[in-house]
Chain A
């Protein structure tokens, strides 16, 4: 089963608020880094927003005297947006009209590889991180993803990831 199955042939774009994202993903505070997703083409691509506030728990230690969002958490936010994009495709496949019924969270896999990533700007409290993810062709349970994050019109980070899908039979999606 492909994680990137095209299921919305008419090119319809979907939006997800924080409550709907919690229905799609298993992530919760303090490790949920997508506040909203928009222009999501299920299984294909989408945008996400992460509003960064001074109250983020990671700023307590990163760093005590200077608040900087860790680059790996930016990558995590990108990976979570990716999960929204493919989990929304599963939801469309199985029960398009059912608001809460499908368990997509249990199928969300893991980060398989950070294939390439470049960071070009610090992310600090007050920044609105705009994320973008575009899925490539899946190969088995693995999907390559092109990702990018920006604040305003400034590029924050850009690169490509590999994500896995957990099969319904369990396991971690790797072989």
Chain B
């Protein structure tokens, strides 16, 4: 049984909105000098990607707790691979794609 076209479109839009929201949060909370839209969904966050370090990791953990209500623990380090992996983690933790209107 496949979802209707409208349902798929709605899911895709919610996912894109969440990715964009996470990029904005990353830029704001880490003080990155880059436009959120220029961060790739699969661009590595560390090393040659966004050049984040371990202190930024904690910043992301605190920011996710505050803004998305999701706790990333020490065992979930794989979530820091990219924006997509961070968002995958949020969606799995919440059991659904949070609607941006509901997030402050």
* A residues lining the B interface (CB < 8 Å): 2, 112-113, 115, 136-140, 142, 144, 162, 174-175
Contact = CB atoms under 8 A, between A and B. Distances in A.
B59 interface: yes
A139 B58 contact: yes
Nearest to B76: A139
Contact of B71 (A112, A137, A144): A137
Given A112-B58, A113-B59, A140-B74, 8 more contacts: A115-B59, A115-B62, A137-B65, A139-B57, A144-B58, A144-B61, A144-B62, A174-B53
B3 interface: no
Contacts of A137: 61, 65, 71, 73
A140 B71 contact: no
B38 interface: no
Contacts of A113: 55, 58-59
B54 A140 contact: yes
Contacts, number: 38
Interface of B: 53-55, 57-59, 61-62, 65, 71-74
Nearest first, the 4 closest Cβ-Cβ pairs linking A and B are A175-B54, A142-B58, A139-B61, A139-B58
B61 A174 contact: no
Select the residue from A2, A139, A140, A174 with max chain B CB neighbours within 10 A. A139
20 contacts: A112-B58, A115-B59, A115-B62, A137-B71, A137-B73, A138-B74, A139-B57, A139-B61, A139-B73, A140-B54, A140-B57, A140-B74, A142-B54, A142-B55, A142-B57, A144-B61, A162-B59, A174-B53, A175-B53, A175-B54
Contacts of A162: 55, 58-59
A137 B73 CA distance: 9
B58 A174 contact: no
